[in-house]
Amino acid sequence: MGQESSHLVDPDTPPDTLSDRSLRAVAQLIKDGRAKQVVVMTGAGISTAAGIPDFRSPKTGLYHNLARLNLPHPEAVFEIDFFRSNPAPFYLLAKELYPGNFSPTVSHTFITLLAKKGLLRMLFTQNIDCLERAAGVPADRIIEAHGSFATQRCVDCRTPFPDDLMREYVKRGEAPRCTRREACGGLVKPDIVFFGEQLPETFHSNVAVPGLADLVLVMGTSLLVHPFAGLPCRAREGVPRVLFNLERVGDMGTRADDVLVLGDCDSGIRKLADELGWRDELEATWRGIVGEKEAERQLSKSRKEGAVQDELDELDELAGHVADKLGISEGSEGEPDTNIGKQGEGAAGPPHAPSGPPEGSTAGAAAADAAELVDDGPAGPAAVPQGKDERSALGKDQQEPEAEDDDKSALSYEPLKPTTEKPITQTRADAVKAEDEGGGGGNEKPAV
């Protein structure tokens, strides 16, 4: 899903810029002063630790949770025509999502450190949660590609609406109306890009910025929604690109200086902070922003999810071994293929490769080859800051009621595909040359 057709780089191919494809080499690039124009691209994955689910995860994603609002389809809550006729579902959602209900994560705070150290050229985010702002990233370094809750205006006359009044309406779950003296009376909507609306001009005017980067960090995004999905392709050849995500996405892993850090974003960011020698500063800054109680809640949630994932991985591995022993395959019914679950001769990969595209497609092989490109980093307790007593964190966890996690896992917001704009690129060569298009009519549905 979301994979470009490009082939993964051969693991034996040496990098052009990095000493090797690892976080240690990326950290050394920064410490040597060779990465001073860092461009970051983020999606919903950097906000999940805050309690905000992403859009597409089964059973926990936003689209699944929206079923309780009795919409004609989940995406309708972000369709401008549906909003005009029935704004109530959106404002019920906005009441749960509004800034102030959630706190930044370690990943947000790392971007703040990049800005404080004068290394952040620009942050492009698909998120509308404003957590980058809450973490202290300067507003002039943020491109909110799909808008945000930061401002709002009338959908008819475009007159801005006061922040304090908007907050009161959202608290009540009610839709405000325009207060312009001429009695416009139009509905007011946060400046979030809905289906049928164009992306902000700030996105289009800064779309060339990734081409100026000397380091690109891609964090927690499926890279399914264009034109945002084409941004990583705009980085110049030889510029290291680092992916922090649960799985490989887009064309990440196709260049010699791509580094894949697969797993939750916060764990990967902590590994990079360790290599940079920033870990203590990162943890202290983060705790100063969110407070001790919220920090322990996020850490506790991360530990529980990690334990569950470990158990699932063990079960998958066991099932894979059993399948290999019994000769079970994914062939057609009654005619099982022989050992189709095994990797190609000489290929590295787990014996329980996840189900993917049909045989003959490139994505299945790409997933196996990607395992050879992943930097797992040193093993260790990623969720516990240096110098922090593990026992105190666990004790806090045991004292916190389970319901608190439930309260924080309301609904989420990775922005949706708002227009039918052409993708910035489908190939790396086209990406650099393509002229940017304006917004479209918004008739397409987002990839789900």
Catalytic residues: 146
CA distance to 9, 34, 241, 243, 376, per residue, from 21 (Å): 11, 16, 10, 12, 11
Structure tokens at 366: 């790409």
Q: Residue 212: which of 42, 424, 427, 35 has the closest Cα?
A: 35
Q: CB neighbours (10 Å) of residue 183?
A: 8
Phi/psi for 366 (5° steps) reads -60, -40
Q: Distance (Å, rounded) from C-alpha 64 to C-alpha 270?
A: 30
Going by the DSSP 8-state scheme, the letter that residue 15 receives in this structure is P
Q: What is the CA radius of gyration of the chain?
A: 22
Residue in 356, 344, 430 with CA at minimum distance from that of residue 6: 430
Residues 35 and 119: beta-carbon distance below 8 Å? yes
Q: Are 21 and 15 in contact (CB under 8 A)?
A: yes
Q: Which helix (H) or strand (E) holds 38?
A: strand 38-42
